[in-house]
Structure 1
Amino acid sequence: MSCNGSSSQPSAFTLAGIPGLESAHTWFAIPFLMVYIFTVLGNCTVLFLIWADQSLHEPMFLLLALLAAIDLSLVTSVVPRMLAIFWAGAKEVSVHACLAQMFFIPSFYVMESGVLLAMAFDRFVAILQPLRYTTIMARHTLVKMGLVIVVRTVVVLAPAPVMANKLVGFRTHIIAYSYCAYMAMVQIACGDTSNHVAYGLMVIVASVGVDLLFIGLSYGFILQAVFHIPSKEAKIKALSTCGSHLCLILTFYSPVVFSVLAQTLGYSMAPHIRVIVDNLYFLVPPMVNPLIYGVRTKQMRERVLWFLRCPGT
């Protein structure tokens, strides 16, 4: 659609859901609902176990609790709205609600990335400074790390709704996503949007890019230290403490790395594939994170089995 005679910012936008697959929206809603249910149950279980068991009030598990809380917030900000589109056809969203979603959804994602970096630092200290671990990873350190994660998120993402609100003139009022995404709105805007594209790249570099860099550095030092351990059993034990966290990293960053590589190599994804992949950013990690820690972490397995045990057995 041409920008000639384009109007100012509308009072509402229309979310397309999954473009090109509108007839299958009802069927797509079923797996999304199942993912949401499993995510809520899994993360609530993690939060309850850590809250109820004093022995789990260690830095690693407190960071896991923070991760679970962020995961719950992330899926709750995404899935109910998607289900309203798929089942009730509630595609219209007000500008203010759209701008709010534009801020909060990526904010929770960036916060989760920050928590994964904090967990990498936790493993770094546990392996390289085991005697000082309790001192370094004290409660006040965790609080400071949490504050840094929140402040970084606000500083990086607060400009998004402000800049988007200043866009005037649109080719269409239909956003080809199942949620209000900043770059999706920029793509339908008229005029020069180069500053918006530059800001979008800056967000990726300043959040996910920085976190991946420091996570890589942390594990570089960890591996260097582990390979200098003479005992094979000690090496395996040291690496096993990082196993769950490495699984979280692979699950969380794989979709975004795949998407960036595809765009860099010039591979153009169909609109519905791009939307589905983008949804994977927000839905898969929160669902599998509790499973990863529940299966791979002995303390969590023992607590789950203890709570599931029948009374008197």
Structure 2
Amino acid sequence: MMKTSVFIVSLFVVAAKAARNSSCKDILDNSVTRPPSGIYTLEDSRGFQYQTYCDMLTNMGGWTLIASVHENNAQDNGRCTRGDRWSSEQGASSLQPRAENWMNQNTFGNVISATADDFKSPGYFDIKAKNLMIWQVPNDTPLEDWRPASYMRYRTESDFFDYFNGNLFQMYKYFFPIVSNQYSWPADNGPQIPVVFDEGNGGDLVSHFGPSVQQDLTPGYIQFRALNTYLDAFAICPGVKLSESSAYGAPHACFGSTGDNAGTKYCGDFAGWTYSGYGTHTDWSVDKYLIETTFLLFYR
């Protein structure tokens, strides 16, 4: 049983200024001593209180978990269903050409089960951030083990959100919508932002993707709104950017797809990651380790 008393630190006693804690950075800034990592209660701009995880260690701390993305039971035909909340949830339907949850203020899931189910907190659209961090953690990892179990941790440090109104919601809604059949490849691909690795390295990261797509990947980046020649749109390429000549790589290296994708295999949160079989690590398919990974997304 999870020892939540160790990790639920909402009542951590600090000498704090009289201020609303809207992010983990606020908690850090309002504390005289460094608070521990764990679950805290935040308050959004409308006064709604919610719980999420704060990483108070990486690069001086203050990172707020705002979302998690994982594949919905890909081995047992759970893909492309309502459990795939970051895709259209309607599979490969041409009636759903938009990945709405990247561009709206819906919330779902909860922080405790973030590696077992998709999670989206109010912080996704409410927090004004400067940078994004991603942890790659095996599915179903208990919260207290997220950090030691993460085999990749990487983050931007260029304050790129300053150019996109402060968060992913603003960036996707107003700058790079996740919509199929509307934009041109490769001219309308989104930004490719450099990252630094706190755990793992670029060579190991690329090695988990399918052999057929690896030649198109450059590690050390996060790419946003990646397109292929079919004009399918994908939200995030984690830890990598696609070459400009990569006509087919996006569904096999990026997650968060629309429902209007070319071919029935190109649907679900992880789209074409099992195109050549589940976890086979042949042709276009990622290995089993990667298909069974949860991506934890943090703001600071």
Q: Does TM, normalized by the shorter one, top 0.5?
A: no
Query: What is the TM-score when the length of structure 1 is the normalising length?
Result: 0.25
Task: Identify the structure with bigger relative contact order (alpha carbons < 8 Å, sequence gap 6+).
Answer: 1
Query: What is the TM-score when the length of structure 2 is the normalising length?
Result: 0.26
Higher strand share: 2
Larger radius of gyration, structure 1 or 2? 1
